[in-house]
Amino acid sequence: MDGARALKLLTLHREVLVERVRNTQCVLDNLQNQGFICTEDLEIIQHTNTRTQQVRKILELVQSKGEEACAYFIHILHEAYDAYIDLRPWFQSIQYEPADSVRALPVINTDPISRYSEKLRQELGRDTRFLTSYAQREETLLEDLYTNTQMELLNDRGESLGYLECVEDILGEQGVFNKEAETIFITGDAGVGKSVLLQKLQNLWSKRELNTGAKFFFKFRCRMFSTFKDTDEISVKDLIFKHNCYPDLDPDNEVFGYILRFPETVLFTFDGYDEIQMDFDTENVPEVVSPEEKTHPLLVLMNLLSGKLLKGSRKILTARTGTEVQSRIIGKKVVLRGFSPDHLKSYLALHFPTNEHREVVSVQLDANPHLCGLCSIPLFSWIIFKSFKHLQSVYDNFELPESCITLTNVFLLLSEVFLGHITKRPGLLKRSTRCTSDTFKSGLKMLSAFAKLALLGMEKGSFICSQEEVTSCGLSEDSLQIGFLRPVSHYDACGGAATFEFLHVTLQAFLTAFSLVLDSEVSPEEILKFFAKCEYKKSSRFSCVSCLCTPSRARDTDPFMTNEHFQFTNLFLCGLLSKPNAALLEHLVPPLDLKKKRRALKSYLSSSVRIHLRGLPRYPSTDIQGSKVHVMPNFLWILRCIFETHSEDVARLTAKGISADYIKLAYCNIYSADCSALNFVLHHHRKSLGVDLDNNNISDYGVKQLVPSFSKMTVVRFCVNQLTDSSIEVLSRELIRYKIVRVLGLYKNHITDAGAKLVAQIIEECPHIMTVKMGCNHITAVGGRFLAEAIKKSKSIFDVGMWGNSIGDEGAEAFAEALKNHPKLTNLSLSANGISSEGGRSLARALKENSSLHIFWLIQNSISDDAASELQEALRRNTALTHLILIDNKLSARGAQMLAEGLANNTSIKEIK
Ligand SMILES: Nc1ncnc2c1ncn2[C@@H]1O[C@H](COP(=O)(O)OP(=O)(O)OP(=O)(O)O)[C@@H](O)[C@H]1O
């Protein structure tokens, strides 16, 4: 842009500039620095009363100074980005491109607020560029590896509200159930990607790519709050400026003043609420409302989260699944569910962009649903892919273990890679034989040292280790390069001397378990000490909801932490002491010691399974005859441990202990890899069994892992589990093979017409099928017709749920055919299916010829008065129907009147809505 155009623009766009230039000081500072104005000019302008008058004066002045001054003036507005953020659209509209002469002139942003914002962006940009990687030398750009994960929205009762499309939507309105609360709560299992998701948000903000009005973004790790002493006191101002980012050159305290005036421009992220370790009564938090008041840092956090401090600021809080947070402070809840199969494919492609190894891994994944299940957790996926890549580069023919790989195997693989760094002989060609035991033997000293450090931390409930602790375990500076540990950044640990943490808390748990196994001074009984921290306390009442909101943790620990790190330690202990891993462990531990420890563990597991199962509440089942048992959340960890031990004896004992006819595992946070563990036990079950896995995250991989158990399953409830038609293929093959299924629950999955056709086959082929729930899938008239035809033929089916599909009038027509003279059908829901009066009439006509249906749901369709006379007639004739539910249709008072007349002679109907 040349000077002449600049001069013209200042006249033409004068009003826009007067309106949007809010900070005059920065303009004046720069104009003066470059000699375009002098002190007298400044004084004249500063004597003007209002900001708009000042801007008008500046414009006049600049124009009087000539074209170059005008060009530089515009350039200041462009370069001091945040100070003139409101002018960005204007710059776009004029397609601003500075002339070289102007570009050469420096611009200093002297606006403290935008300068602080810029400083935050730079720091966040720098801190979030890389993903944690193996060794410090080997960093990966976040951009190169970040892959979307599944982000499920839940309401305040823990029910699914669907999925978010992209990271930015986290801050959007979708899914907000409490408008008064300002905290967005993100939960998920260990390693599912909560921290990385925050990192992505922070990184986007630092690049101005996050669509939010936030001028300031403060990130904290919650564990920082545990590093303060009981007597420490800070204010919210200290928290922001001393423990996050200091505003330079702000003598008049303008930044904080601005934050107080416009708290809605502030975004906080607090990562890992579960990592706070403090004895603290979260129910009775004293109110801190003054931003200057100094109090315990944790109180500052609590008051920020509840909106008592900096009301209007936005907060994102993350925690592991099961962490309790007062519901009144949560406005929106997001649960991370890890990689979907498509996400996993993208992630694989990022790891192996051009490599032929991608194909090899892909083939191995396809053949191994359990491995895929493990890989749905990004952390495990990362370990598996990284280890694969590394071991492939060292050995000629490395392949991932074929047999059922356990989580312990995954961490053994990672350790092998780390320890391999010590024994690496530089410059050598690829080796043809991989000898895992040799690698572990050569690295044993180092492994023991890391394991000792991990145990030390676990015993005192700490995830951060000091330099002294590192040294006391015999670890040198060099050993830190291997990859088990990484330095903690100063924000996280609150400054002070260097501190370290394990790459991930699951790795610390793995090494802790290793320590218990390796150390000959730890007796067989002592290895069980962390089980005591996880035992289910009888006193805590169980309800289904408690699976959602009560952490599976020992009540006598502090109120924040989950006990997951102990659960993982126990799990790895089971894995390390398993028979299949004995071959390796015997190189590291005297076989007799190993045997004793294994025996102690097995005996503990057997008795605790027995006690657990005996204490479970039983209820009569409504789905099938017999009793139903609700498992406790801890049962999932028991299952996982049994699977890691690979002990058929314990599995058999557990299966025997499930003496009920129906086991309910709904809302237990079961993910796909857990299905291997469940299957490991269930396939030993002698009798048939109903299995309710509703509201988990088993996905298609999970269904594949359950194949051996379908021969036993009379109830298959897999509602709300992310299943696609590929699961239905497996189900139809297996259920038709055994023909014992009675109840098939599949609502809220991703089933299309192809899946519906397969379900129709199940209905036709399985003579005992009574209930089929297919609601909220993607079934149209095509699938509806298949299902209706199968239902028509079935002599056993009596309960069909099809709500929330889109079968329309054509589908309704097919269901009408099925209804006519059906011998059994008692309960049918065709709600929310886009059925109009045409479909309504067909259904009404069919009702005349039906004498089985008791309850008919037709909520949220478009049935209008046109169908009323047919319905009236149906009501006159039908003598079986007890409930007809027509809420949210298009019936007017006249239509309702006609229905009422139809009811006049009907003796069966109890309710019509
Ligand atoms: N979206 C993602 N894209 C790529 N990699 C990811 C993603 N999410 C997580 N990862 C990988 O998984 C690792 C663990 O993720 P992260 O630390 O975010 O888990 P987390 O849920 O915060 O676990 P924890 O609760 O134990 O702190 C990361 O270091 C990264 O390698």
Contact between residue 851 and residue 878 where contact means Cβ atoms under 8 Å apart: yes
* Per-residue pLDDT, 551: 37
Beta bridge partners of residue 628, listed in sequence order: 619, 662
**Atom number in ligand 1 closest to CA 192:** 21
Q: Whose CA is nearest to atom 12 of ligand 1?
A: 379
Q: Whose CA is nearest to atom 6 of ligand 1?
A: 378
Per residue in 515-544, is it b (16+ CB within 10 Å) or e — as a string? bbbbbeebebeebbebbebbebeeeeebee
Q: Whose CA is nearest to atom 16 of ligand 1?
A: 193
The span from the CA of 566 to the CA of 532, in Å, is 9
* Per-residue pLDDT, 900: 74
Q: Whose CA is nearest to atom 28 of ligand 1?
A: 379
| Cα-to-centroid distance, 319 and ligand 1 (Å) | 13
* Per-residue pLDDT, 553: 37
Identify the H or E element spanning 566: helix 564-576
Q: Pick from 725, 726, 665: which is nearest to 696 by CA?
A: 665
Q: Is 118-336 in CATH node 3.40.50.300? A: yes
Q: Whose CA is nearest to atom 26 of ligand 1?
A: 190
What's the longest Cα–Cα distance across the chain?
99
Contact between residue 731 and residue 755 where contact means Cβ atoms under 8 Å apart: no
Q: What's the Cα-to-Cα distance from 529 to each of 488, 516, 525, 643, rounded to whole Å?
A: 29, 10, 8, 20
**Atom number in ligand 1 closest to CA 198:** 18
Residue among 147, 219, 382 whose CB has most ligand 1 atoms within 8 A, to mutate? 382
723 lines ligand 1 (CB under 6 A): no
**Atom number in ligand 1 closest to CA 196:** 18
The two structure tokens encoding residue 820 = 């006519």
Q: Whose CA is nearest to atom 1 of ligand 1?
A: 147
DSSP per-residue string spanning 872-904: HHHHHH-SS--EEE--SSB--HHHHHHHHHHHT
* Per-residue pLDDT, 818: 92
Q: Is 3-110 in CATH node 1.10.533.10? A: yes
Phi/psi at 820 (5° precision): -55, 120
* Per-residue pLDDT, 224: 84
Parallel, antiparallel or unpaired: strands 883-885 and 911-912: parallel
272 lines ligand 1 (CB under 6 A): yes
* Per-residue pLDDT, 907: 59
Residue among 144, 166, 196 whose CB has most ligand 1 atoms within 8 A, to mutate? 196
338 lines ligand 1 (CB under 6 A): no
Q: In this structure, is the dihedral angle defined by the CA atoms of residues 308, 309, 313 and 318, taken in order, positive or negative?
A: negative
**Atom number in ligand 1 closest to CA 146:** 3
* Per-residue pLDDT, 356: 76
* Per-residue pLDDT, 905: 63
131 lines ligand 1 (CB under 6 A): yes
* Per-residue pLDDT, 426: 52
Residue tagged 């190894």 (tokens): 357
Q: Whose CA is nearest to atom 9 of ligand 1?
A: 193
* Per-residue pLDDT, 513: 96
* Per-residue pLDDT, 562: 64
Tell me the mean pLDDT per 10 residues along the chain, length 913.
82 89 87 90 85 89 90 91 84 88 88 89 92 67 92 90 91 92 94 95 94 91 83 88 84 85 93 78 68 87 92 95 86 94 93 81 85 92 87 72 80 89 58 75 92 92 86 84 78 61 92 95 92 62 30 40 83 95 92 94 89 79 76 85 92 87 90 92 90 93 94 94 95 96 95 96 95 95 95 93 94 92 91 92 88 89 84 79 85 80 64 61
192 lines ligand 1 (CB under 6 A): yes
Q: Whose CA is nearest to atom 24 of ligand 1?
A: 190
Query: Residue 327 gets which letter from DSSP?
Result: G
Q: Where are the domain boundaries for CATH 1.10.533.10 in the chain?
A: 3-110
Q: What is the residue type of 99? A: A
Q: Where are the domain boundaries for CATH 3.40.50.300 in the chain?
A: 118-336
Q: Pick from 123, 80, 78, 71: which is nearest to 101 by CA?
A: 71
Q: Within 532-632, where are the H helices?
A: 544-549, 564-576, 582-585, 591-614
The span from the CA of 184 to the CA of 330, in Å, is 6
344 lines ligand 1 (CB under 6 A): no
